[in-house]
Amino acid sequence: MSSPPVLLLCRLFPGTFTDVAHRFRLLDFYASALPIHAFLAAVAAHADPPRVVLVFGGGPIPVGAELFDAVPSLRCIITVSAGTNHIDLRECARRGVQVANAGGIYSTDVADYAVGLLLDVLRHVSAGDRFVRRGLCPEQRGGDFLPLGSKIGGRRVGIIGLGSIGSAIARRLEAFGCVVSYHNRRRREDVAYAYFPTATDLAASSDVLVVACALTAETRRIVDRGVLDALGERGVVVNVARGANVDEAELVRALAEGRVAGAGLEVFDDEPNVPPELWAMDNVVLTPHQAIFTPESMADLSRVVLANLDAFFAGEPLLTRVKHRGGIPNPLPDCVPAVYDAIKSVFQKTIDHSLTWCW
Amino acid sequence: MSSPPVLLLCRLFPGTFTDVAHRFRLLDFYASALPIHAFLAAVAAHADPPRVVLVFGGGPIPVGAELFDAVPSLRCIITVSAGTNHIDLRECARRGVQVANAGGIYSTDVADYAVGLLLDVLRHVSAGDRFVRRGLCPEQRGGDFLPLGSKIGGRRVGIIGLGSIGSAIARRLEAFGCVVSYHNRRRREDVAYAYFPTATDLAASSDVLVVACALTAETRRIVDRGVLDALGERGVVVNVARGANVDEAELVRALAEGRVAGAGLEVFDDEPNVPPELWAMDNVVLTPHQAIFTPESMADLSRVVLANLDAFFAGEPLLTRVKHRGGIPNPLPDCVPAVYDAIKSVFQKTIDHSLTWCW
């Protein structure tokens, strides 16, 4: 009996790819010469069409009705991301398509990275590095160097989203003597941090605002102009969630006008595009959605993907199943087939470990 | 009665300067038009010559016999640094000159910064920032992007110098799940971290080696080729102590040859000069000896400098007195008067908050 087919619409790191290819028959968009529409049509016409698809996490590729119409055999989506903001969960529920994500495997990596961004922005680490690499010695420095940094201990850090990532950030920051508070949909009874019922209230009581929530209809642009103004001109934003959690245009404006002091941004609204206004700012740290790229997390991803595939084909519950919770549907961007094709041509050219931005 | 004179051979941040100038009559090299030799001769010829001098911390300006010969009235040195490697403590003891440093006021700032450097090197924060600021989108990325980062949890971090800074680094890294061990002159009975009697043994058991010791004759180039080889090709060096604690030429060679994986360097052997071979490396973070520059530490410095001045003039023990411990004398570089004059001309041109490098 041949191994079951699995539709592969994302690139996997070599180790994960090998692990999955060893056990399943991969219908790999990236190994095909066809553009996306023709590829999906060919896949759908297979004698044994795929019931599972592996997809990227977020970025420009939404997963919803168009994909199911193209490949009606699909019954299971496995995304390599923790977030499922790119998946139309309501449509999945309506069609009986199960969804699994990467579970919590990235939480510590993202939390560690968030603390790194916070330290960098408050203490000018990458700005200092730029200064040194420009070969500046004191004579040339003049007025162009950096103002004083900010002590870490005692800083009031407000976390939007005290889930697994936010909680891990909080624990780390406690070791630095930060004063942690948070905003969630609901107060958590199991933590002693101060709770604020709105992001604006949290920002008004924070020196640093860390965005660590899932992207949902409710949290889209949760950091808007009002929140930024509440944070104020000495405040700093750190975003390790999704670009769309922040009103990026308002943040750029607030930074340019000195209405907030700085930002550490690992995610952007329209990745891989980063607003060019930010490139010349010394009070921001801009990184390419790379927090999860550690060998350990990639190995964990192999395990969780294989466990979900095994569970699905055994008719058992998915290991990291994501359920539609009702409520306001999360708006998805239009599915643009050209994006798939463009990304494919990029990834076919690049080395395998350079898979940020479309994760 | 006029306030007592204080010789000022360093620049102070504006707040500290104002605090000290308010209480004492400053003989300020930087406010004088004279070069250093003529200035010191004029100071020594005063009717009421200074008994106290405030000096920079380390850098190119040693404090020893030449200064005392030039201004024989000096009985007290107050350095704005924690380290006293630039002061000839034996000569001070011989001449009955007391020495005070900044005490432990910088320890948390330096510890926070060390963790920031460690996170940056292991997770490519500033390298990612460079990538974004170059405006690279995936098409241009090709093979030039970064390899996978390293998970923080579980990393074995060896700390050379488990004093106040090293201990604060250890506490922070515990929150990330790192496994901490250390090398000191002697085992500490009050901590549970594994102790290694030599830096080489520590390096052989570490993924990351953090240098956080005072610079003494014993710790000069404590990280030498043997230690780097013991650390190995997957190892990372973080230095927040003094540049001379590391054999910089060997470190540059090891990085260039891939015999160590990366480095986060806040201090250098010949500041403000940074070996140009490092500038193009993506696996190093290079910052301009800026870790202590926070408003809080500068305010603490005002307090500790004033408290020491008050104590000295009251004939009471200095608050943060540093004693000569005997043992091998710490070798000082030659005192080069031209360096004072060059630094003076630099600082007279620059804005007051740009005082890194010669601290």
DSSP B100-112: E--TTTTHHHHHH
| Residues B294, A153: C-beta atoms closer than 8 Å | no
As a whole number of angstroms, the longest Cα–Cα distance in chain A is 74
Q: Give Cα A181 to chain centroid, integer Å.
A: 22
Query: Environment class of residue B138 by beta-carbon count within 10 Å: exposed (0-12), middle (13-18) or buried (19+)?
Result: buried
- Which of B287, B302, B353 best probes binding to A when mutated, by most A CB atoms within 10 angstroms? B287
Predicted local confidence at residue A352, as pLDDT: 41
Identify the band that residue B104 occupies on the pLDDT scale cut at 50, 70 and 90: very high
Q: Contacts for B36-44 with beta carbons within 8 Å, 24 or more apart? A: B36/B337, B36/B340, B36/B341, B36/B344, B37/B70, B37/B337, B40/B67, B40/B70, B40/B71, B41/B70, B43/B7, B43/B71, B44/B70, B44/B71, B44/B72, B44/B73
The answer to which of A246-255, A322-331, B68-77 has the lowest mean pLDDT is A322-331
What domains are defined for chain A? 5-105+294-349 (3.40.50.720), 107-286 (3.40.50.720)
Contact B357, B116 (CB under 8 A): no
A240-247 average pLDDT score: 96
Q: B125 — phi, psi (to 5°)? A: -65, -60
A62-81 average pLDDT score: 93
Is it the case that residue A355 has pLDDT exceeding 70? Answer: no
Query: Environment class of residue B264 by beta-carbon count within 10 Å: exposed (0-12), middle (13-18) or buried (19+)?
Result: buried
Q: What is the pLDDT of residues A91-107, one digit of tens each?
A: 999 999 999 999 999 99
User: What is the 8-class DSSP label of residue A200?
Assistant: H
Calculate the average pLDDT of chain B. Answer: 89
Q: What is the pLDDT of residues B238-287, one digit of tens each?
A: 999 999 999 999 999 999 999 999 999 999 998 878 999 999 999 999 99
Is it the case that residue B145 has pLDDT exceeding 70? Answer: no
Q: A147 — phi, psi (to 5°)? A: -70, 175
Identify the band that residue B136 occupies on the pLDDT scale cut at 50, 70 and 90: low
Identify the band that residue A2 occupies on the pLDDT scale cut at 50, 70 and 90: confident
Predicted local confidence at residue B56, as pLDDT: 82
Q: Which of A86, A155, A183, A242 is catalytic?
A: A242
**Of B110, B53, B59, B111, nearest in space to B355 by CA:** B59
Residue of A nearest to B176 (CA): A172
CA distance B252 to B259: 10
Contact A79, A99 (CB under 8 A): yes
Task: Name which residue leads in pLDDT, B273 or B178.
Answer: B178
Q: What is the pLDDT of residues A150-183, one digit of tens each?
A: 999 999 999 999 999 999 999 999 999 999 999 9
CA distance B285 to B121: 6
| Residues B116, A112: C-beta atoms closer than 8 Å | no
B/e letters for A149-188, b = 16+ CB within 10 Å, e = fewer, are: bbbbbebbbbbbbbbbbbbbbbebbebbbbbbbbbbeeee
- B75 catalytically annotated: no
Judging contacts by C-beta atoms under 8 Å, the chain A residues touching residue B180 are none
Q: Give Cα B175 to chain centroid, integer Å.
A: 25
> B239 - beta bridge partners?
B211, B265
B/e letters for A67-86, b = 16+ CB within 10 Å, e = fewer, are: bbebbebbbbbbbbbbbbbb
| Count of residues making up chain B | 359
Residue of A nearest to B139 (CA): A346
Predicted local confidence at residue B358, as pLDDT: 35
Helices A337-349/A36-44 angle, 10° precision: 100
Is it the case that residue A147 has pLDDT exceeding 90? Answer: no
CA distance B9 to A291: 45
Judging contacts by C-beta atoms under 8 Å, the chain B residues touching residue A298 are 148
Residues 6+ apart with CB under 8 A from A305: A12, A16, A19, A20, A54, A78, A80, A102
Predicted local confidence at residue A353, as pLDDT: 36
Predicted local confidence at residue B140, as pLDDT: 42
- A242 catalytically annotated: yes
- Nearest Cα of chain B lies from the Cα of A174 at a distance, in angstroms, of 8
- A233 catalytically annotated: no
CA distance B32 to B10: 13
Query: Environment class of residue A253 by beta-carbon count within 10 Å: exposed (0-12), middle (13-18) or buried (19+)?
Result: middle
CA distance B189 to B181: 13
DSSP SS3 for A223: strand
CA distance B340 to B43: 15
User: What is the 8-class DSSP label of residue B245?
Assistant: G
Is it the case that residue A144 has pLDDT exceeding 60? Answer: no
- Nearest Cα of chain A lies from the Cα of B300 at a distance, in angstroms, of 12
| H-run or E-run covering B168 | helix B164-175
Q: Which of B172, B242, B248, B250 is catalytic?
A: B242
Q: What is the pLDDT of residues A308-331, one digit of tens each?
A: 999 999 999 999 999 887 766 666
Predicted local confidence at residue A274, as pLDDT: 93
Contact A144, B352 (CB under 8 A): no
Task: Name which residue leads in pLDDT, B75 or A355.
Answer: B75
| Residues A149, B350: C-beta atoms closer than 8 Å | no
| Euclidean distance between the first and the last CA atom of chain A, given in angstroms as a whole number | 33
A350-356 average pLDDT score: 40
Is it the case that residue A333 has pLDDT exceeding 80? Answer: no
Structure tokens at B120: 């940056």
